[in-house]
Structure 1
């Protein structure tokens, strides 16, 4: 069962605008207006409203990690030994500052956190684990898995009709 968007703030034009911007965040209000059969000003207002309401968080270019020298994509599962200390909170503060960590999720199950990490090679990833992760207080274990082949990697969120 799919949950619908929890807001009545969106109409069909808003949803189409969101889809178009996910496909190409560089579209100008003029180009968006053309595709939506709207003039520039109302189109700009809708876009601004969606930004103000938080539906559009930011804009970015999707880069090719391999062309930038990041051949290793790793998933690190981090488990803490004691959750009653401030160690997990400090860990989260450290992770927020690390550009090589693409995502960090607090999860249920065996691990407490799952990180997605980029590295140039296995040796670089090893240094990251030893020099960064293992130095964080309270960590009981770190288990790493590596992407052998990327099947699907998108950041687009499906916008319901």
Structure 2
């Protein structure tokens, strides 16, 4: 639940930042037909309250050398607190794992993993994924073609 109710101006700010995270406060204020100080205060409040978690550049994974994208499902046999903590720490440390979700259904986790090539991916599966504590099953679904990739949320 949001910490405070958002109005249309807040939603517009969030939407504009999703389109262009590098937009200047002056340009954002101009698009909102408001002065810069109130615009900056609203933006700061959205950051402080956690609606905006950060800013980043979206890189083309292929151009920086990551030709393999895989969606990995994992099943674990152990669910005790110690194993869970070890598993989470190792997942957070791995730069190849872009996202990891604890899921309901037939598997315990779904991960998005990148690798330079199939040999690199195979090494990653053997040296990292299969050695995670409590894991009994690892299934890889390699992406053949990416149709859409977005972190953008539908606003309003």
Which category of TM-score, normalised to the shorter sequence, fits these structures? over 0.9
1:153 corresponds to: 149
Q: Are the aligned partners of 1:80 and 1:88 in contact in 2 as well (CA < 8 Å)?
A: no
* Residue of structure 2 aligned with 1:79, choices 69, 75, 79: 75
TM-score of the superposed pair, with normalisation by structure 2:
0.95
Give 3-state SS (helix, strand or coil) of 2:128's partner. Answer: helix
RMSD: 1.3
Paired residue for 2:112?
Answer: 116
Q: Which runs of 5+ in 2 are unaligned?
A: none
Query: SS where residue 13 of structure 1 aligns?
Result: helix
CA distance in 2, matches of 1:26, 1:42: 19
Query: Is the CA contact 1:100–1:117 (under 8 Å) kept in the aligned structure 2?
Result: yes
Q: How many residue pairs were aligned?
A: 156
2:102 is matched with 106
Is residue 98–residue 111 contact of structure 2 (8 Å, CA) maintained in 1?
A: yes
Please identify runs of 4+ aligned residues in structure 1 that moved more than 3 A: 5-8
The SS at the match of 1:125 is helix
Structure 1 residue ranges without an equivalent (≥5): none
Residue 30 of structure 2: SS of its match in structure 1? Answer: helix
Residue 3 of structure 2 contacts residue 49 of structure 2 at CA under 8 Å; is this kept in 1?
Answer: no
1:9 counterpart = 2:5: yes
Alignment partner, residue 19 of structure 2? 23
| 1:78 and 1:112 in contact (8 A); partners too | yes
Cα displacement (A) at 1:6: 4.6
Structure 1 residues 122 and 23, CA gap change in structure 2 (3 angstroms): same
**Which of 132, 136, 156 lines up with 1:136 in the alignment?**
132
